[in-house]
Structure 1
Amino acid sequence: MPERDAATDAVTDAEAGVGEEAAPKREVSYDDTMPGTLLLFPALLLLRFLGEHAWAYWTAAVIGALGLVAAGLGIASAVGSLRRGRRRWAALGVIALLLGACVVFVARLVEHF
């Protein structure tokens, strides 16, 4: 029976990946800002130049809401990279850019309401 226990321990170690190198984590870059920025920028332009029209306001609100979701995912990725201690300045830049865009969008949306 001890041979059987030793065999099952070896299998569980191999299944758990003990001794194997873990897959590298993806590092943050300014490409993480693209989905959020590409959605928030047109929404901000609509609010800035055509905000007095109802159709432009609601179109900007829908596009901006999708941009807020994309920005949230980008911020989460940057915070994860910041917690791992990789590319701290890039992660801080991504967080600052996306948070700034979100704040400006919400402020413009409330201003035109």
Structure 2
Amino acid sequence: MDTKEFLGKTVAVIVDRPMGSRHLQHGYIYPINYGYIPNTLAPDGQEVDAYILGIFEPLSYFEGDCIAIIHRINDVDDKLIVVPQGKNYSDEQILALTEFQEQFFVSVVLRP
């Protein structure tokens, strides 16, 4: 599935790693909500992942707008950037807010 199809669309995200939870393998704490788009398939064989920005409490589900994609140059697993309707973030803000995990990859931000 081409993640670019999601740009500019409203998507539903199942949050399996809510803000404040700990990554099981690497031990870091998620400073934002992180989840996946149900019934999708990313190149890594899992569902398409999404970072949720602009919500400052742990969630289990969220519907919002996909404003950008973090495209990993050295990995096959792109990440959607999902925000509340009408909210926006600059590329620099997106990279800063996702650095806790994206620091391990070479990435660019894609826009509609």
TM-score, length-scaled by structure 1? 0.22
Q: Point out the structure with the larger strand share.
A: 2
* Structure-2-length-normalised TM-score: 0.22
Q: Which has the higher contact order (CA 8 A, sep 6+)?
A: 1
Which of these two proteins has the greater Rg computed from alpha carbons?
1
